[in-house]
Amino acid sequence: VQGVTLTLASGGELPSIAYGTAHIKDADTILEAIRAGYRHIDTAVLYDNHLAVGDAIRRSGLPRGEVFLTTKVGFFPSGLHAIWRWILDMHEGSAGISVAAGKGREQAALRAALQDLGVDQIDLCLLHSPFTGFLELLGAFLPHRLGRAKPFKWQPLRKISASVRQLLQWVGGVLGMSPEAAADVRRLSWEQLEAAQSDGLCRFIGVSNYDAALLAELADAKVFPAVNQIEAHTMFQNRETRVYCEEHGVAV
């Protein structure tokens, strides 16, 4: 289960096979994964299961250094009304209406995560999404939400998801936040992670669901993302982003 270890450009190693805990709030289930051999646990503020993850790690009896721990912060656009978070029902839990999963609160969310997990430091902290406005969030998330509800329509939805996202981004740019303002919001979120790493709250920092263009926005950042957690498989190879990451030393 431990699989291949990736060497990060910033130093250190990342177990490439992780146990994802979305929708899992039972510590016993996570503990069984650790006992089965998983040494990389992936969680997020959005999943609302940090207490369970921390409990499972402690009960495993393994030294802290033997379990690589990843969490994610900053999923929702800043100011997204709780009603919309509830309607979208991202992970059918209290985090669906929690402001802790929003942008602009990354460092505070990470400190709360450390307390809930019962650890002094996170191995890897990721920005969970690049979303800065509601329409962008809806465009990226809606195909996944509908695909989960109606699996037989998944492939057609996947094919149009990029077009839907582009359309909603365009509308959002006209009616709401400009691309420049959106980039500034993402930069401020990234600076919060840079500060968190500098303060020793996490060893490595990275992003999730970023494409090549979004990564390029961080080209002159103090710390470039060590990791980009993205969707990539036979039906969606995400080649442009993967090539960019390879050329710039970002682990995928």
Out of 38, 47, 210, 244, pick the active-site residue.
47
Residue 244 among the catalytic residues: no
Per-residue burial over 203-229, b if 16 or more Cβ lie within 10 Å, else e, is bbbbbbbbebebbebbeeeebbbbbbb
Long-range contacts of 231-235 (CB under 8 A, 24+ apart): 235/155, 235/158
Where do we find the tokens 């899992």? 24
By residue count, the chain amounts to 252
CB within 8 Å of 60: residues ≥ 6 apart: 31, 34, 35, 67
Structural tokens at position 62: 């393994």
Among 164, 222, 166, 219, smallest CA distance to 191 is for 222
Put residue 69 in one of left, alpha, beta given phi > 0 → left and psi -120 to 50 → alpha: beta
Among 79, 117, 122, 123, smallest CA distance to 101 is for 79
Structural tokens at position 15: 């177990």
Query: How many whole angstroms separate alpha carbon 135 and alpha carbon 172?
Result: 6
Active-site residue set? 47
